[in-house]
Structure 1
Amino acid sequence: MIDWSVTPETRLAVGGVSLEYACHGPPPGQGPTFVLLHEGLGSVALWRDVPAALAARTGLGVFAYSRHGYGRSDPARLPRPLDYMTREAKAVLGPLMDAAGLGDVILLGHSDGATIVGEYAGSVSDQRVRGLVLIAPHFFVEPKGIAAIRAAGTAFASGDLRARLAPYHDDVDGAFRGWHDAWTDPSFAEWNVADVIEYWRIPALVVQGTEDAYGSLAQVDEIAARAYSPVETLILEGCGHTPHLEQTEATLEAVQDFAARLLRLERAHVALA
């Protein structure tokens, strides 16, 4: 069990790797805990004020961590395997929650993090997981997404993207190259993990911006077509790839309402049991 009163840059050992984490709100045992999984270039710090705001609005605990190779976590060996998101879901997330002493959780992921959330829910049996929040998820490759990633590669090499990311990652080159080079590898063009959606057995909230350069509403349509469990959607007009930062109020309100409904269902179930 970790010390829940800590601040960012505290680390937790998982599988021989030291991972940065941060906690907000009440500790486990007082209700479900949100577990935040960041995007392909994200980290604990790049969630900005969202974790604290989420804890304040919902009254639930929030646990955010930087994946191996990101933020203040240990650097990762490159190149990343092309199935790095599947490996995170199957080999890291569960042991991380064990090490942190988490009980019931709501998994909330953005972009790559949303994919990991979806893969975990569809491939790992874990009754701690009470709900899923997927922000700008992707389960298959879209040409527009690859074009956006290649453009990011140009901005990193000759623009200001490297300088903007450098304060948030101890190994900024490793963080960027691990993400960029996996997605732009020719073998990644056939990547598709959408079959995991069919194995979800818990409610999900999906948030997608209409102007997301990395993915389209086709990702949301795929979830709707494949899911057997309840799925709610929030489509944000004029919003890009980061709804929680671009349209924070609408996104947090939807997450707050979703969590409140989950809690009501849980309490009703307990009362009937």
Structure 2
Amino acid sequence: MTTLSPSGFLTVGAARLEYRMIGPSPENAPVIVMLHEGLGSVGLWGDFPDRLQAATGAGVFVYSRAGYGNSTPAKLPRPLGYMHVEALDVLPKLLDKIGFRRGILLGHSDGASIAAIYAGSHQDHRVQGLALIAPHFIVEDISIASIAEIRTAYATTNLKEKLARWHRDVDNAFYGWNGAWLDPDFRNWDISEYLAYIRVPVAILQGASDQYGTMRQVEIAQEECYCPVDVTVIPQAGHQPHREAAEATLDAIAEFATAVLQADSPSQGRAA
């Protein structure tokens, strides 16, 4: 276990990963571990982690995966199973490294998929719930079309300049994600098999106008999961409800996290 400063770097495998630890540390309270989107980072979450900490009283741990933010760049091209690598190899080591004892995983987009793979492949009794913002369980036509559009925007507009504020090596971040999703073989990517093995409550938050995924993603979770699945559709929000409708998204996640963490507090014991 590593003693966590409010911010810094952790070495996990060959990578140095930047992080923030907000509120109480893992040895003193449950922790919400936040997993960012395919172009996200510690910084791109903005003040949402701080607001979530204030709303729940839990610790909030945020980190940038390799290739993002100020973390070590990733080797390109990324393997098409890069989210499996994160969920099966990197995340277990990271949770151990920070001394994670109990809490929830909160993922957005790619981060939500990584959280689902982890929970469906590890019977980790420390993880008491999943909050998934705009998750992907399969690849849809709308996903590929939007990801192709953003590749053009990256080459022809000021998008690269905007993203460079949040990533030390912006090309590494962008092309690592974009190249994998636009590989023709990625159309076969499907993680729905993991959903049946998740044994904790799941909250899904889906923007009604998500340009990267449809309600089919939610339906798959409802069809495949045996665990409770709570769905919140956020009106007037697209793929970034925590930015586009921050209050509604924060309220839904905080309510879920508080209920799950209180229900599964050590003083009340764990359900069999």
Q: Aligned runs of 1:185-264 on 2, under 5 Å?
A: 185-264=183-262
In structure 2, relative to structure 1, the CA distance for the partners of 1:117 and 1:271 (3 Å cut) is: closer
Match of 2:4 in 1: 4
Q: Aligned partners of 2:161, 2:258: CA distance in 1, in Å?
A: 40
Deviation at 1:105, TM superposition (A): 2.1
Q: Aligned runs of 1:37-186 on 2, under 5 Å?
A: 37-186=35-184
Q: Aligned partners of 1:123, 1:266: CA distance in 2, in Å?
A: 21
Q: Relative to structure 2, which stretch is displaced further, 237-246 or 38-47? A: 237-246
| Letter matched to residue 6 of structure 1 | P
Q: Per the alignment, in what secondary structure is the counterpart of residue 31 of structure 1?
A: coil
Q: Per the alignment, in what secondary structure is the counterpart of residue 18 of structure 1?
A: strand
Q: Aligned partners of 2:112, 2:118: CA distance in 1, in Å?
A: 10
| TM-score (norm. length: structure 1) | 0.96
Contact 2:26–2:98 under 8 Å retained in 1: no
Runs in 1 of length 4+ with deviation above 6 angstroms?
none
| Letter matched to residue 210 of structure 2 | D
Q: Aligned partners of 1:25, 1:243: CA distance in 2, in Å?
A: 23
Deviation at 1:272, TM superposition (A): 9.1
For structure 2, which runs of at least 5 residues remain unmatched after alignment? none
| Letter matched to residue 269 of structure 2 | V
Match of 1:21 in 2: 19
| Letter matched to residue 150 of structure 2 | A
| TM-score (norm. length: structure 2) | 0.96
Contact 2:204–2:231 under 8 Å retained in 1: yes
Q: Aligned partners of 2:167, 2:258: CA distance in 1, in Å?
A: 34
Deviation at 1:91, TM superposition (A): 0.3
Contact 2:113–2:136 under 8 Å retained in 1: yes
Q: Per the alignment, in what secondary structure is the counterpart of residue 20 of structure 2?
A: strand
Deviation at 1:2, TM superposition (A): 3.4
Q: Aligned partners of 2:143, 2:113: CA distance in 1, in Å?
A: 14
How many residues are aligned here?
Answer: 271
Q: Aligned partners of 1:211, 1:167: CA distance in 2, in Å?
A: 26
In structure 2, relative to structure 1, the CA distance for the partners of 1:145 and 1:263 (3 Å cut) is: same
Q: Aligned partners of 1:142, 1:109: CA distance in 2, in Å?
A: 19
Contact 2:112–2:135 under 8 Å retained in 1: yes
Q: Per the alignment, in what secondary structure is the counterpart of residue 19 of structure 2?
A: strand
Q: Aligned partners of 1:26, 1:32: CA distance in 2, in Å?
A: 8
| Letter matched to residue 37 of structure 2 | E
Q: Per the alignment, in what secondary structure is the counterpart of residue 34 of structure 2?
A: strand
Q: Deviations over 1:11-42 (max 9, x none)?
A: 10001211111110111133310000000000
Deviation at 1:241, TM superposition (A): 0.3
Deviation at 1:264, TM superposition (A): 3.0
Q: Aligned partners of 1:16, 1:140: CA distance in 2, in Å?
A: 29
Deviation at 1:4, TM superposition (A): 3.5
